[in-house]
Amino acid sequence: MVHIGPIALGEFPLLLAPMEDVSDPPFRTLCKMHGADMMYTEFISSEGLIRDAAKSRQKLDIYEKERPIGIQIFGSEIDSMRRAAEISAASGPDVLDINYGCPVKKVACKGAGAGILQDIPKMVSMTKEIVDAVDLPVTVKTRLGWDENSKYIVEVAERLQDVGIQAISIHGRTRAQMYKGSADWSLIRDVRQNPRMQIPVFGNGDVDTPEKALAYRNEFGVDGIMIGRGSIGNPWIFNEIKHFFATGEHLAPPSVADRVEAARAHLVHSLEWKGERLGVVEMRRHYANYFRGLPHFKQHRLSLVTEPDPAAIHALLDGVTAAYADGMPSA
C-alpha cells in the first residue's frame, strides 16, 4: 500500500498531473470518475496568492468528491512561497505540492518551477520552510535537472526527503529538453532504488497507453505513475490502465457516444464552476481533444467553438452522436 503521509492511495496509484489550463475542477471530476487515485490543481502563483489575485484564488477551489486532492504552488521567493503555502493549506487540501518542474520560459527563467534546479541549496531551504509552515504532507514535482550536465535528481530527492517531503514525482526530462525527445526514466529508477529513500517515488513522462504503463512499472520499479498529457481528452486512461494491469486485456475504446458524454459532462461542470459566458468560452479548446481522430469532424468542431448558447451546444453534441451513430460518416 502506497501512502503519502496518512493518505492511503492503493497498491499502485495513478495520479493526474497538475497542468496549467487543464487540471481544473471540471476536468478533474472526469478523471476521478474514470479512475484517477490522486489529483492536483493547476499550479498556482505564490505571488498571485499573497496579492489576493482573483485568478489565483479561484484555482484554490477544491471539492469533497475530488479527494484526495493536492494544491500545487510555484514561485521563486522563499517568503512568498511560505505565505502562499499557508494560504493554500487554509483551503483544506489533503496535500500541498511544490512545483519545481515547470519548464516554460516565463516561469523557469524567473527562478521558479524548474528554474530553481539551478540553485539546489535554495530549493532545499524553500522546501524546509514550506514543510515547517503547514500541517499537511508536502510533496514535490520536479525534473531530472536543469540540463544534461546537471542531472542531480538522485541527490536532490534525498535532500528533499531529509527536510520533510512525503512523496516526489519526477518528470523524466531536463528543463532544457522541455517536452522534446523521449522521457528518460532510468534516473527515476535510480531514485527509487536508493536505499535511503523511504517516501513514494512517482514517475512522469510519456505514459499514454496501458502497455507503456505496465512496461514502465515493471522496468523502473516506481511506486505509481503520474499522467499528464496522456489524459488530455482521454480521462478514460486511468481505468484503461487499471484494467490492463488486472487482466492483460484492453477495455473497449470510448465510443463516439462516450466521447460526446464526456465533452457534455465537462461543459456542464465548466458552466457550474465558471459561469455561462466563461464556461462556454474556456470549454472551446477541449472539443478537439475529445473528438481527436474522428474523420470529417471539422464542421462539427467549428459549430461547437462558435456557438455561445449552452442549450444550442448540447443540441450540437446530440448532432455529433447522431452523425456517427451508424459508423463513420463520409466526407
The structural domains of the chain, with segments of one domain joined by +, span: 3-247, 256-323
With cut-offs at 50, 70 and 90, classify the pLDDT of residue 21.
confident
37-50 residue pLDDT tens: 999 999 999 999 99
Q: Which of 8, 11, 61, 15 is nearest to 35 (CA)?
A: 15
* pLDDT at res. 329: 60
The confidence score (pLDDT) of residue 328 equals: 61
CATH of 256-323 given 2.40.160, 1.10.3470, 1.20.1070, 1.10.1200: 1.10.1200
The domain defined by 3-247 carries CATH number 3.30.360.10: no
For the residues 222-234, what does the mean pLDDT come to? 97
Separation of alpha carbons 127 and 107, rounded Å: 18
Contact in structure between 188 and 226 (CB atoms under 8 Å) = no
If one counts every other C-beta atom within 10 angstroms of the C-beta of residue 310, the result is 17
Q: Average pLDDT in the 182-191 region?
A: 97
SS3 state of residue 202: strand
To the query of whether residue 102 is one of the catalytic residues in this protein, the response is yes
The answer to whether residues 167 and 136 touch, using CB atoms and an 8 Å cutoff, is no
Q: How many whole angstroms separate alpha carbon 76 and alpha carbon 102?
A: 12
Sign, Cα dihedral of 186, 173, 218, 43: positive
Q: Which residues contact 51 (CB under 8 A, 6 or more apart)?
A: none
Q: What is the DSSP string of 128-163?
A: HHHHHH-SS-EEEEEES-SSTT---HHHHHHHHHHT
Reduce the DSSP state of residue 201 to 3 states and report it.
strand
Residue 111 in this model has a pLDDT that exceeds 90: no
- Looking at residue 120, its pLDDT comes to 96
Q: Fold identical between 3-247 and 256-323?
A: no
Asked if 192 contacts 229 with a C-beta cutoff of 8 angstroms, the reply is: no
Tell me the CA distances in angstroms from 241 to 61, 179, 183, 231, one per residue in order. Answer: 28, 23, 19, 11
Q: What is the pLDDT of residues 302-311, one digit of tens each?
A: 999 999 999 9
Strands 7-8 and 3-4: antiparallel
Indicate if the pLDDT at residue 312 is higher than 90.
yes
C-alpha cell at 240: 484503461
Residue with cell 473497449: 252
Residue 249 Cα distances to 6, 33, 124, 242, angstroms: 33, 21, 43, 10
Q: Which three cell numbers stand for residue 42?
A: 493547476
Cα 282–chain centre separation? 18
Alpha helices in 221-275 (DSSP H): 237-247, 256-274
**Predicted confidence (pLDDT) at residue 327 exceeds the cutoff of 70:** no
Q: Please give the sequence-ordered ranges of beta strands (E in DSSP) within the chain, or none if there are none.
A: 3-4, 7-8, 14-16, 38-45, 69-74, 95-100, 138-143, 167-171, 201-204, 224-227
Per the residue annotation, which of 84, 102, 136, 225 is the catalytic one? 102
